[in-house]
Amino acid sequence: MEDKTYKLSNGVEIPVIGYGTWQTPDGETAEKVVDLAIKDGYRLIDAAAVYKNEESVGKGIKASGIPREELFITSKVWNKDRGYETTKKAFYKSLEDLGLDYLDLYLIHWPANAKQFENWDEINKETWRAMIELYKEGKVRAIGVCNCKPHHLKSLMEMEVKPMVNQIEYNPGNRQPETVEYCKKNGIRVEAYSPLGTGRMLDNPALLEIAKKYQKSVAQICLRWIIQNEVIPLPKSITPSRIKQNLDVFDFELTPEDMERINELPDFGFSGNDPDTITF
């Protein structure tokens, strides 16, 4: 079941769960945990230039010994590199740091927003133009965005190649229904970063109760809820037992009642980083 994939709008297959590398310390730790995660069965590795660990992540990928074509490697263009030329440069830097000759998915990390730039929409379109070229040149198998609300996506959806993925902050305490609904309607696959709310989910009483019922951990309940919503969770852990545990979510199913109970929880998982108001 963990081998299961979705087809993106261009037919490229993407695993239903991935391994996150945000906040993973650079160096030996990143190298070891990525190697371990791949050996445990993760096939999607979610990286980004701004995580400042791509060289180590790349070493971990190599150390795993798994053939490149069986892996799905993602990176992201950081905010300071928005724009046409700079996006291309950033792409090749990530490619080199990761030690790869193509990526499976390249994403715009955050959309430019109206609070920061009068011409925010133009900036996003320029960045996207570079993404389209990289895609057409075959350097990357799929392209997408992160942290986009429907109004950020609107003009990109009118361009020659449309975003195939939107990676957003998503967990039982931060469900962003308008964005998820918009993406589903428009053939954009949603990925969930901070699927455990970077830890904020773990002591929620309702989730603890549900976890007890299924004899699973709260982390596993969060990941299962995300998977049943057909969103791709990207849990991060540097702890070997948790890396394994987070993949062990395919032998049970949450009932519709429990799914609904989670859907009705008050919001308690938001990091506070609103794509419309961030200043970085």
Of 1, 16, 21, residue with least CA distance to 235: 21
Determine which one of 51, 106, 135, 170 is catalytic: 51
Residue selected from 180, 236, 247, 275 as contacting ligand A2P according to rule CB under 6 A = 236
Which residues touch 130 (CB under 8 Å, ≥6 apart)? 83, 84, 85, 87, 88, 91
Residue selected from 63, 66, 132, 238 as contacting ligand A2P according to rule CB under 6 A = 238
Specify the stretch interacting with ligand A2P by CB under 6 A; choose among 55-63, 153-161, 208-216, 231-239.
231-239
Strand partners, 167: 146, 191
Strand partners, 247: none
Q: What is the DSSP letter of 103?
A: B
Q: Does 275 bind ligand A2P (CB under 6 A)?
A: no
Instruction: Quickly tell me which residue has 């950033």 as its tokens.
Output: 90
Q: Does 204 bind ligand A2P (CB under 6 A)?
A: no
Q: Which is nearer to ligand A2P, 83 or 197 (CB)?
A: 197
Quick check: 56 and 238 in contact, CB under 8 A?
no
Please, which of residues 39-58 interact with ligand A2P by CB under 6 A? Answer: none
Q: Which is nearer to ligand A2P, 107 or 131 (CB)?
A: 107
Query: How many residues in the chain?
Result: 280
Q: Does 149 bind ligand A2P (CB under 6 A)?
A: no
Residue selected from 237, 247, 249, 275 as contacting ligand A2P according to rule CB under 6 A = 237
Specify the stretch interacting with ligand A2P by CB under 6 A; choose among 7-15, 42-50, 71-79, 188-196.
188-196
Rounded Cα distance, 191 and 60, in Å:
22
Which helix (H) or strand (E) segment is 15 a member of? strand 13-15
Q: Which is nearer to ligand A2P, 127 or 246 (CB)?
A: 246
User: Chain-centre distance of CA 165, in angstroms?
Assistant: 9
Rounded Cα distance, 18 and 228, in Å:
15
Q: Minimum Å distance from CB 235 to ligand A2P? A: 4
Of 229, 165, 149, 244, residue with least CA distance to 195: 229
Residue selected from 175, 217, 224, 275 as contacting ligand A2P according to rule CB under 6 A = 217
Q: Minimum Å distance from CB 224 to ligand A2P? A: 12
Task: Check if 6 is active-site.
Answer: no
Give contact residues for ligand A2P (rule: CB under 6 A): 20, 194-199, 202, 217, 219, 235-239, 242, 245-246
Catalytic residues: 51
